[in-house]
Amino acid sequence: MLSNTFRHRIKSQLHLQFVLKWLIVAVFVGSLSGSASAVFLLMLDWAKQTRDQYNWLLFFLPLGGVFVAAGYKYFGGLASKGNNLIIEEVQNPSRVITFLMAPLVLFGTIITHVFGGSAGREGTAVQMGATIADQFNFLKKFSEEDRKILLMCGMAAGFSSLFGTPLAGTVFALEIIVIGRLRYEGLLPVLFSALIANYVCDLWPIHHTHYQIGEVPSFNLKNIGWVFLASIFFGFTAMGFSSGMFWLSHQFKRFIENPLLRPLFGGSIVALCIYLLGFKYAGLGIPTIVESFNVQQGLEVFAVKLILTVLTLSAGFKGGEVTPLFFIGATLGSALSLFIPLPLGLLAGLGFVAVFSGATNAPIACSLMGIELFGGDSAIYIVIACFVAYFFSGHTGIYTAQIIGSPKHNLISELKGKRLVELMKWK
């Protein structure tokens, strides 16, 4: 009896020690990452206002890209791998991520946006958060397993504070490392970091964009069928985006060996297209995303944004894929309302998160994000859309370092353990 009681007390003390240890780490990681995201958001606002005021900056996009590429060529090293480097380090820790990754991706993203490139911001925040977190290895040597948790804390902190979605940020960091597997050992530390980062970011003079789905139809088989159909399109679109990114980036490397010339060529095409087609395709495109919830968009809108984003990022510019995926999904959903008898706002909202789900292979995180952004009234439809899009996007994704822990169906179980990069190679 005494021995059982003693063992119980020891286990309780170990649990408490674990919680206190990671709570302290989360306070520092969350505070620093949340502040970094806030500064980043303020800089993005400045970049957008400057670009809107001086449209002629668009013509300097190619030169801006050369500057970004030079920074990575001479100082970046492995940092040029971006989010894939972080995912690889969580899978198999080898070396502490260089602190240069944070300023390089920060200023590379701002340069991309101020000159009008079509890019996002999530990759920047996640990379800054993970980089900041990993520097704590110099203060206290973390074990290999603890370092994995530390990196996921930084990823969650960056994602959570950038979008104002702590639950989605938590699950995102746990879900994207291995497809079909959640890393539950990091659940509490990652949650602590996401919550603190979001809280600290909100203390700064920044604001997160709010979206309104509006009318949500009754839950019945007919509406489920329409949501399922729309989500197939969202999944195929995610597949097209991921495959296009992978293919075009390899073509740039194949035909233009000098990395400084890739953004010069690609940036010139992007600048010309935006000049001819409209400045709404430059930068994040948030005004168009918001508009798509209330005004039906043409089918060409999502297609143009998809092509320009793939071209921008494949050419070597920095930013992220996620906000462009929001744009692509929301405008596609809005356009589908012409054919699918569901409310425009609902379809835009479903596309917003479902294309993101298919491209990141993180259906649970994307479902939570939809609920955090749009409210619980549409939760069932959001979950259906994210899960269906995840399935129909196939074994593709924007994070090619992801390992398949559980294939999307049991007909191809031999894919288990392979990286996406192995499956996405063009024969």
**What is the CB neighbour count within 10 angstroms for residue 417?**
11
Counting residues of the chain whose pLDDT is more than 70, the rounded percentage is 96
Cα separation of 282 and 275, whole Å? Answer: 9
**6 pLDDT above the threshold of 60:** no
> Measured between alpha carbons, how far is 204 from 27 in angstroms, rounded to an integer?
17
* Residue 27, CA distances (Å) to 154, 197, 375 in order: 11, 8, 28
Report the pLDDT value the prediction gives residue 70, as an integer from 0 to 100: 97
Residue type, 78: L
Q: Which residues pair with 244 in a beta bridge?
A: none
Rounded distance, CA 312 to CA 319, Å? 9
d(CA 355, CA 393): 9
In this structure, the number of other CB atoms found within 10 A of the CB of residue 102 comes to 23
Annotated domain spans of the chain: 2-203, 221-423
Compute the average pLDDT of residues 121-136.
96
pTM of the model: 0.95
Instruction: Give alpha helix (H) positions in 337-378.
Output: 344-360, 363-374
pLDDT value, residue 1: 47
Q: What percentage of the chain carries pLDDT values higher than 90?
A: 89
> Residue 427: pLDDT above 60?
no
Confidence grade of residue 4 (pLDDT, cut at 50, 70, 90): low
Q: What is the pLDDT of residue 415?
A: 86
Burial class, 393, CB count within 10 angstroms (exposed 0-12 / middle 13-18 / buried 19+)? buried
- Which tops the pLDDT comparison, 129 or 2? 129
DSSP annotation of 73:
I
pLDDT at 368: 98
CA distances from 272 to 51, 74, 117, 164 (A): 15, 29, 11, 34
Task: Look at residue 152 in the predicted model and tell me its pLDDT.
Answer: 98
CA 124/CA 121 separation, integer angstroms:
5
In this predicted structure, the answer to whether residue 47 has a pLDDT above a threshold of 70 is yes
Q: 164 pLDDT exceeds 50?
A: yes
At residue 139, the pLDDT reads 83
Q: Position 6: which residue type?
A: F
Tokens matching residue 356: 């993101």
Residue scoring higher pLDDT (5 or 288): 288
Give me the CATH code for the 2-203 domain, please.
1.10.3080.10
CB 165 within 8 A of CB 194: no
Q: How far is CA 389 from CA 56, 229, 342, 362, in A?
A: 39, 10, 17, 10
- Bigger pLDDT: 184 vs 411: 184
The CATH number of 221-423 is: 1.10.3080.10
- Provide the 10 A C-beta neighbour count for residue 254: 8
* pLDDT of res. 30: 98
What pLDDT is recorded for position 409? 84
Tokens 């003693």, residue located = 6
Segment 306-331 mean pLDDT: 97
Please determine, for residue 255, whether its predicted confidence score (pLDDT) is greater than 50: yes
| Model confidence band, residue 89 (pLDDT cutoffs 50, 70, 90) | very high
Contact (CB, 8 A) for 61 and 271: yes
Q: Which residues contact 108 (CB under 8 A, 6 or more apart)?
A: 68, 71, 72, 317, 318, 319
Say if residue 2's pLDDT is above 90.
Answer: no
Report the length, in residues, of the chain.
427
* DSSP structure class, residue 96: P
Q: For residue 98, how far is the Cα from the chain centroid?
A: 21
Average pLDDT of the chain is 95
Which tokens belong to 196? Answer: 């603190």
Whether 102 has a pLDDT exceeding 90, the answer reads yes
What is the pLDDT averaged over residues 151-176? 98
Question: Stretch 361-366: mean pLDDT, rounded?
Answer: 98
* Of 184 and 414, the one with more pLDDT: 184
Contact 44, 110 (CB under 8 A): yes
Q: Please choose, from the candidates 328, 317, 231, 230, the residue with its C-alpha nearest in 3D space to the C-alpha of residue 288.
A: 328
CA angle 164, 334, 332 (to 5 degrees): 85
Counting other chains too, the contacts that 47-53 makes at CB distance below 8 Å and 24 or more residues apart are 47/110, 47/113, 47/114, 47/283, 48/113, 48/283, 48/284, 50/114, 51/113, 51/114, 51/115, 51/116, 51/282, 51/283, 52/279
1 touches 125 (CB < 8 A):
no
Q: Is it the case that residue 187 has pLDDT exceeding 70?
A: yes
Q: Kindly tell me if the per-residue pLDDT of 3 is higher than 70.
A: no
